[in-house]
Amino acid sequence: MIEVKGLRKSFTLGKRRKTRTVEAVRGVDLSVAEGEIFGFLGPNGAGKTTTARILCTLLEPDGGEAVIAGADLRKDPGAVRTKVGYVPQGGTTTDEVTAREELVLQARMYGIGKAEAIERAEKALAAFELTEFADRACRTYSGGQRRRVDIAMGIIHEPKVLFLDEPTTGLDPQSRAHLWDEVRRLRDTGMTVFLTTHYLEEADALCDRIAIIDHGEIVALGTPTELKHGVAGDVVTVGLNGSGPRAAELLDGHDYVRKLELGDDGLRLYVDDGTTAMAQIMRVLDAGDIHFDTVELHRPSLDDVFLIKTGRSLRDK
């Protein structure tokens, strides 16, 4: 659905002699399948928004190629426009007008006739649970409601691909969860969703695949599980009361145990898949009649992935 090769873009900042060039996107390659929620995860200034804006025809790339829903970005940006929807970071609802007016206008700007635009607005309002406030001015909406209007505007022309730039920034946890459900619902209708985020939880919970981007380059790409397993497996820590050495002896040599460490806090087992390994470990200990106090599972997070790939943590930001 989206094929990108060698995309690059740089900006010149500053005035007259004191200029410097910032390479915002430095050779991004990616491929997004139909019906996928694809996440672009990275810190602020990593090039996420620039990439999304290029793919939506808002910025002209310096180099590289992209084909979106069969349309060539450089040769036919007009065709790309009819096939993508874009929801920018800040939101674009106008205080003085109503959600219904916003939706009708947006549909009309896509060349849709008046009667059909009104009908589509009505459907979109119902789908995003906005009917109740549809005829109130946007200034009276909550942040979550406004964001839903933004997304409804982004899909009013039934695009193949929807670009969401930082969709949940500034939303409270409840609105965020609500929005995630909306995005999943769109994916379930067959829409491809490309979203940028700097929230680890969002990338992890919502995205089918993630590209981690830093300084304009993709440093890791895969499903959240693949990425996390790529850095290190899960760790199961068993708190044992004195019988550590004997437990280690019993568990050593099982094929699901990659590595085993006996420490002060108990026995640490490095495994591929923590959930199944935990059950197997408990069975072995039970069979050996070894009593244990605690069993803990630690799975690597996307932050661990980011840390290993870039040497920095996303959380510090």
Which of 101, 109, 39 minimizes the C-alpha distance to 81? 109
Sign of CA dihedral 36, 42, 44, 49: negative
| Stretch 230-269: interaction string toward other proteins, x if CB under 8 A | ----------------------------------------
> Does 62 engage in binding with other proteins (CB under 8 A)?
no
Which of 39, 86, 49 minimizes the C-alpha distance to 195? 39
Stretch near other proteins under the rule CB under 8 A, chosen from 92-100, 125-133, 180-188, 222-230? 92-100
Q: Which of 17, 20, 96, 188 binds other proteins (CB under 8 A)?
A: 96
Please return the burial class of 78, using the count of CB atoms within 10 Å of its CB with bins 0-12, 13-18 and 19+: exposed
280 and 255 Cβ atoms separated by less than 8 Å: no
Q: Which of 26, 31, 58, 280 binds other proteins (CB under 8 A)?
A: 58
> Does 101 engage in binding with other proteins (CB under 8 A)?
yes
CB of 163 to other proteins, least distance (A): 9
Which of 252, 236, 207 minimizes the C-alpha distance to 41? 207
d(CA 205, CA 195): 13
CB of 172 to other proteins, least distance (A): 22
Which residues share a beta bridge with 87?
164
Q: Which of 109, 126, 177, 297 binds other proteins (CB under 8 A)?
A: 109
> Does 141 engage in binding with other proteins (CB under 8 A)?
no
Q: Which of 43, 91, 143, 230 binds other proteins (CB under 8 A)?
A: 91
d(CA 82, CA 57): 11
> Does 140 engage in binding with other proteins (CB under 8 A)?
no
Considering the complex, state which of residue 14 and residue 245 has its C-beta at the smaller distance from other proteins. 14
CB of 56 to other proteins, least distance (A): 5
Which of 36, 12, 34, 37 minimizes the C-alpha distance to 23? 12
Q: How many residues bind other proteins (CB under 8 A)?
A: 29
- What SS3 class is residue 138? helix
Q: Which of 2, 37, 56, 155 binds other proteins (CB under 8 A)?
A: 56
Tokens at 181, concatenated: 């459900």
Burial 38-66 (b: 16+ CB within 10 A, else e): bbbbbbeebbbbbbbbbbbbebebeebeb
Which of 274, 278, 262 minimizes the C-alpha distance to 298? 274
Which residues share a beta bridge with 292?
240
> Does 124 engage in binding with other proteins (CB under 8 A)?
no
Considering the complex, state which of residue 85 and residue 244 has its C-beta at the smaller distance from other proteins. 85
Q: Which of 74, 110, 178, 299 binds other proteins (CB under 8 A)?
A: 110
CA 260 vs. chain centroid, Å, equals: 34
Stretch near other proteins under the rule CB under 8 A, chosen from 15-23, 65-73, 105-113, 295-303? 105-113
Q: Which of 48, 147, 157, 228 binds other proteins (CB under 8 A)?
A: 157
d(CA 66, CA 35): 18
Binding site for other proteins (CB under 8 A): 56-60, 77-78, 81-82, 84-86, 88, 90-92, 94, 96-97, 101, 105-106, 108-111, 137, 153, 157
